[in-house]
Amino acid sequence: MTEDVSAIRRMFRDIPMCRVATVRPDGGPHVAPRWFVWLEDAIWVATRVGDTTWEDALRDPRVSVLIDRGRDWTELTGARVEGVAELMPAEHPDLRAPMSAWHDKYRTLLAGEGFEQLADAVPILGFLRVVPAVVATWDHRPQG
């Protein structure tokens, strides 16, 4: 990996959503938007235990995570991370720090009725822990 992963992680830490790609049983791609935190050890992608993302990663843990920002060509910047997902239900003992960071990041979005809506939509929260094996970036912002 030639990219400075810590600088890339800092650049995208405030982005609220990533897209995670998994491999369906028929070999085709499945892509879904998900909330995430990118800590020093891994990207932690939140998903509902038992949903398509979870089941795909359970069967074939190879995943790709895309994080980007910008609308106009001269604003576009992003990172694609490839790795192998380790699936962890919310009660997993190794989730204490990632879950705390995730709650801190999304605290305002979960305020008021947000938490109730999340709990109804995601009865069993889990995380995919993705250690970056490949990191590729692009940046179309004017340089200099």
Stated as kind and residue range, the H or E segment containing 106 is: helix 96-106
Using an 8 Å Cβ cutoff, are 46 and 125 in contact? yes
Q: Which domain holds residue 69?
A: 5-139
**CA atoms 50, 132, 134, 78: torsion sign:** positive
Q: What pLDDT was estimated at residue 3?
A: 58
78 within domain boundaries: yes
64 within domain boundaries: yes
Residue by residue, pLDDT tens for the chain (144 residues) are 445 888 899 889 899 999 999 999 999 999 999 999 999 999 999 999 999 999 999 999 999 999 999 888 888 999 999 999 999 998 999 999 999 999 899 988 877 777 677 767 767 889 999 999 999 999 898 887
Rounded CA-CA distance 126/88 in Å is 6
If you count DSSP H runs as helices and E runs as strands, how many of each does the chain have, helices first?
4, 8
Q: What pLDDT was estimated at residue 12?
A: 92
CATH number at residue 52: 2.30.110.10
This prediction has a pTM of 0.89
